[in-house]
Structure 1
């Protein structure tokens, strides 16, 4: 039940936050689109894809880690869920590269900064993640046991020995290609991005703080959300079986959809302005409510003084 509560909390926080961010970025892009906007929109779309299929994980958690739904939905739900995880890591890396090039090589990158390049890169990243995660369809039937609809079936976990021989090496490839390399590139880019910004005296302090916040939020995202699950791939390959804690590591990956809005806040002035507008509106409503309550109390006290 703890896993189910975690999924529900992630959905409750992440879904409205990502919808708000997506609408804000889309409105900004309709006026004037930039490479950063395109990457952020794709990152938001990846998060929404994860959140839309998170209810399947909720049902699975509520059923005690078994799959009570039709078996045909198992590979579909997992394909979308896993693809969204790796899409998030790839687009976080693409954003780090975009920030790095814009700060370290401002003049050289400005001449080549075109939204079309970001769109092409986005298509490549979607194809890269989805093609790798399509192994869930093959693994479902490769050397499989006779799968009947029963209450003990575990989706993408109840593997035969033949399936494990097929799945475990591919999981190791996912670790290297879709996690380790992007993480290394992200560390390199944000380390140099922050170093260069902090060394320039003409950069406003607020911008430097945003840069540090962006780098820290991204590193936390990789370290907390993506690292445990991907490390389970390595452990599984070494031990020749899925580690028993893999299910809980997978649970942490969904937290990424709730943490990404923090990155959106540090990355986009449009999101910051929209968020500031929401805060001001809430403050005004709070003042109205407080003022109304105060007037009601004063009226009640005055009425009592006359009786």
Structure 2
């Protein structure tokens, strides 16, 4: 085990710790509140929020393994099978979060633009079907990406066995052959379009339309308008800081026919999405706001004067 950490490892570890400390308690709280709300009086937004929280929890559950890797100076000292599983679970939320953020933006727009239709009891069924379809798309895409990355590893190094993953210098990353790159680079470009560009366009259209509706209608209270602004800011932060650099690496890699050197740093920034999602939970859920206020008061009361 390395006695000192490199600069990159220190930055990675710091980002992982901040993400976990901010994201995990808030996501668990949002997940529990959504479950309770769905059991009592479900509405479509609660179902979308529950799926977004579940997606974040999957990522945060496996984040400690990445912390351990960063602590060991990016050397993987754990079983190889755990490396594969952690990588799979690390990438999975990158696809699911963008879809559910787009679904939340569409739901908020429909709620404001068509309030009568929004109250239809069938919307719960439609919402559930949409979530199931989204998870099926995410699972199928992840499996195909996983197979493409881990296949034909015998071309990577003729001296290795038929293992589908080569751990070079005990690093938990995939060393791709030219054939694998030829298959993966177009797939990555497609992922950038389907899981980043399209959801971003949907979010922009829905939130711009929502702002126009709020500006034309004086009946909406100032607090609600501020929550909408917070919702939009939180969503844009996720796309701009967490998803944009990583998906830009897909586009650059497709053009240059290689893995960009800064791809891992872009991937590190993608972990921050679980820090920004609590902003979305806070702006949407009244129970979330109430619970955070109670926790804040309890914390303040415990602090010495």
Common topology (TM > 0.5): yes
Q: 1:73 aligns with which of 82, 99, 103?
A: 82
Decide whether aligned partners of structure 1 residues 108 and 115 sit closer, same or farther in structure 2, where only a CA change above 3 A counts.
Answer: closer
Shift of 1:81: 1.3
Shift of 1:258: 1.4
Counterpart position of 1:34: 43
Shift of 1:140: 0.9
Counterpart position of 1:214: 231
- State whether structure 2 residue 262 is matched by structure 1 residue 245: yes
Q: 2:177 aligns with which of 160, 166, 170?
A: 160
Contact 1:92 1:218 in 2 (8 A): yes
Taking the aligned partners of 2:296 and 2:113, their CA distance within structure 1 comes to: 34
Range moving further from structure 2, 84-93 or 275-284: 275-284
Superposition pairs for residues 7-26 of structure 1, below 5 Å?
Answer: 7-26=16-35
Stretches of structure 1 lacking an aligned partner (at least 5 in a row):
291-307
Range moving further from structure 2, 55-64 or 161-170: 55-64
What whole-Å deviation, never above 9, does each CA across 1:2-51 have from its counterpart, x for those lacking one? 11121122112211111122122222222111111111011000001011
SS at match of 1:114: helix
Shift of 1:57: 2.1
Q: 1:170 aligns with which of 178, 182, 187?
A: 187
Stretches of structure 2 lacking an aligned partner (at least 5 in a row):
1-9
Larger radius of gyration: 1
Taking the aligned partners of 1:30 and 1:112, their CA distance within structure 2 comes to: 15
- State whether structure 2 residue 100 is matched by structure 1 residue 83: no
Decide whether aligned partners of structure 1 residues 64 and 136 sit closer, same or farther in structure 2, where only a CA change above 3 A counts.
Answer: farther
List 4+ stretches of structure 1 deviating above 4 A.
146-151
Taking the aligned partners of 1:153 and 1:281, their CA distance within structure 2 comes to: 46
What whole-Å deviation, never above 9, does each CA across 1:101-157 have from its counterpart, x for those lacking one? 111122233336522221111111111112112212332123542456766144343
Shift of 1:281: 2.5
| RMSD over aligned Cα atoms | 1.9
Q: 1:141 aligns with which of 151, 164, 185?
A: 151
How many residues are treated as equivalent by the alignment?
288
Shift of 1:166: 1.3
Counterpart position of 1:299: none
Contact 1:35 1:113 in 2 (8 A): no
Taking the aligned partners of 1:196 and 1:103, their CA distance within structure 2 comes to: 7
- State whether structure 2 residue 123 is matched by structure 1 residue 106: no
SS at match of 1:158: coil
Q: 1:59 aligns with which of 48, 55, 68?
A: 68
TM-score by length of 2: 0.88
Contact 1:225 1:252 in 2 (8 A): yes
Contact 2:231 2:284 in 1 (8 A): yes
Contact 1:4 1:62 in 2 (8 A): yes
Q: Which has the higher contact order (CA 8 A, sep 6+)?
A: 1
Q: 1:228 aligns with which of 245, 268, 276?
A: 245
